[in-house]
Amino acid sequence: MSRTVVKATVNGEPVEFLGGGGQSLLDALRDELRLTGSKEGCGTGDCGACSVIVDGRLVCACLMLAPEAEGKRIETIEGLADGSNLHPLQHQFLEHAALQCGFCTPGLLMASKALLDRNPDPTETEVRYWLAGNMCRCTGYDKIVRAVMDAAADLRQEKPR
């Protein structure tokens, strides 16, 4: 009985997979659903490379058990672009060269999306604190922060409030 069928919604699509109490949501996404965009940097909540949004809340997929996903709405990096149209965050990350190796990028994009979903006009300080749980060993963070600020401005123009 240690693995049971888990039904959830991932990026708007209903999915079913086998999940047990010894398996993280990250393992289920990567190994059962073959959604390998979310990365495992540490497996202990420290790096944020596995960040996904569950029922509107940003969490580390490595610190959630796969069966906890039952009935939940999960957003991963695979659902961020609209077909071949990049999300403004993705576009600005490219514009600013806010990535080098790219390992941290899916997590940073999902964390930034969660921020802009609830705060369309964050200050630089708010961006830096919100992203404090996302490690990047390449860029030095500054380009990332600038990309998020500019994406926020783009999104505000798209739908004026």
- Binding positions for ligand FAD, rule: CB under 6 A: 44-46
Tokens representing residue 62 in the block: 């490595």
Nearest to 4 by CA among 30, 22, 26: 22
Residue 44 binds to another protein (criterion: CB under 8 A): yes
Among 5, 7, 16, 21, which residue sits at the site for another protein (rule: CB under 8 A)? 21
Per-residue binding letters, 39-78, with ligand FES (x by CB under 6 A): -xxxx-xxxxxx---------x-x----------------
Among 103, 111, 145, 150, which residue sits at the site for ligand FES (rule: CB under 6 A)? 103
**Strand pairing category for 3-10 and 73-75:** parallel
Handedness of CA 101, 106, 107, 108 (dihedral sign): positive
Indicate the residue whose CB is closest to ligand FAD: 45
Of 46 and 55, nearer to ligand FAD (C-beta) is 46
Backbone angles phi, psi at 135, to 5 degrees: -85, 140
